[in-house]
Amino acid sequence: MERRLVSGSPERCYQHAKVVIADATTPNAKALVTSANFSETAQRHNVEAGWLTTSTSRVQEIRRQFTLSVDQGLFLPLDIEA
């Protein structure tokens, strides 16, 4: 989660892109980068675009960008308990 949203900072920043990464460190790596919202309304009424890659090097590059953002304190990791 973007740290400025958590802190209530007036310097707000919104992450509009949605990114899903799966199996980043395996030969089955995939990443979806899209502007689409994952709601029923968005699916029915919005025209959105996205990009799906199965290139392991591209997936790892995307993963590194998010890891770097967390390391720099720009994003905060979410601890989700199962």
Reported as a single tens digit per residue, the pLDDT across 16-54 is 778 999 999 899 999 999 888 878 887 788 888 899 999
Please count the structural domains in the chain.
1
Q: Please list, residue by residue across 50-69, b when 16 or more beta carbons sit within 10 angstroms of its beta carbon and e when fewer do.
A: eeeeeebeebbebbeeeeee
| 53 token code pair | 């890659």
User: Which residues, including other chains, have CB under 8 Å from residue 80's CB and lie 6 or more apart?
Assistant: none
pTM of the model: 0.65
Domain assignment present for 22: yes
Domain assignment present for 27: yes
- Contact between 35 and 18 (Cβ < 8 Å): yes
Domain assignment present for 77: no
